[in-house]
């Protein structure tokens, strides 16, 4: 069984036995600790095998896999999570703008509000990334119906005399 499958099975079992709230409380605590360390040392690339990283961050291999699952989209070269073993050498070359954007997207305020971000981005840069994230979520309708165009309901009437009243 792959470590990734082991991680997902552990999450399911954890939620069944202890509840989803308990899982997120424990996982967010571990994740915050790891991110605090990684962001504090953002000029250095975090490396090691999966088991070494678990020891370094004082957690289990399963939770390291969960962390890697969460950060994978923010890496310069995403990993094949299914192929990772405990002895796989890991290198976290992180695109920090993408990471911050993805944290906003995940609504992980406990992560994007970490004080370690101050050493990476200015307040203005973070606001710029937040604006970019908000704009990516905004739906824009390019197909505006003019008042004199045929109504979109198919009645054959002008929009202003039908649905546009």
Tens-place pLDDT, residues 12-39 = 999 999 999 999 999 999 999 999 999 9
Closest CA to 154 of 142, 143, 162, 146: 162
Q: Are 72 and 150 in contact (CB under 8 A)?
A: no
**pLDDT of 164 over the 90 cut:** no
| 108 is a domain residue | no
Domain annotation covers residue 70:
yes
Tokens encoding 68: 């890697």
Question: Is the pTM above the cut of 0.95?
Answer: no
Nearest to 101 by CA among 126, 68, 70: 126
User: By C-alpha distance, which of 49, 12, 11 is closest to 31?
Assistant: 11
In a domain, 127, yes or no: no
Task: Specify if 19 maps to a domain.
Answer: yes
Would you give the distance in Å from CA 53 to the centre of its chain? 20
In a domain, 100, yes or no: no
Give the model's pLDDT for residue 4: 94
Residue 27, H or E segment: helix 20-40
Residue 81 lies in a domain: yes
Number of domains in the chain: 1
Is 128 contained in some domain? no
Question: What angle (nearest 5°) sits at the alpha carbon of residue 159, between those of residues 157 and 163?
Answer: 100
pLDDT of 142 above 80: no
Q: Which domain holds residue 19?
A: 3-94
Angle, helix 61-71 to helix 20-40, in steps of 10 degrees: 70
Confidence of residue 138 (pLDDT cuts 50, 70, 90): confident
């Amino acid at each position: 069984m792959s470590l990734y499958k082991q991680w997902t099975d552990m999450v399911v079992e954890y939620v069944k036995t202890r509840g989803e709230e308990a899982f997120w409380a424990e996982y967010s605590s571990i994740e915050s600790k790891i991110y605090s360390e990684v962001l504090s040392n953002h000029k250095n690339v975090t490396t090691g095998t999966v088991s070494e990283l678990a020891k370094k961050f004082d957690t289990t291999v399963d939770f390291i896999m969960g962390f890697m699952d969460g950060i994978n989209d923010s890496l310069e070269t995403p990993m094949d999570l299914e192929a990772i073993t405990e002895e796989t050498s890991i290198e976290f070359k992180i695109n920090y703008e993408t990471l911050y954007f993805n944290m906003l997207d995940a609504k992980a305020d406990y992560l994007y509000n970490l004080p370690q971000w101050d050493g990476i981005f200015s307040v203005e840069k973070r606001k710029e990334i937040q604006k970019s994230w908000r704009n990516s979520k905004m739906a824009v309708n390019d197909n505006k119906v003019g008042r004199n165009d045929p109504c979109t309901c198919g009645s054959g009437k002008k929009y202003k005399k039908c649905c546009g009243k």
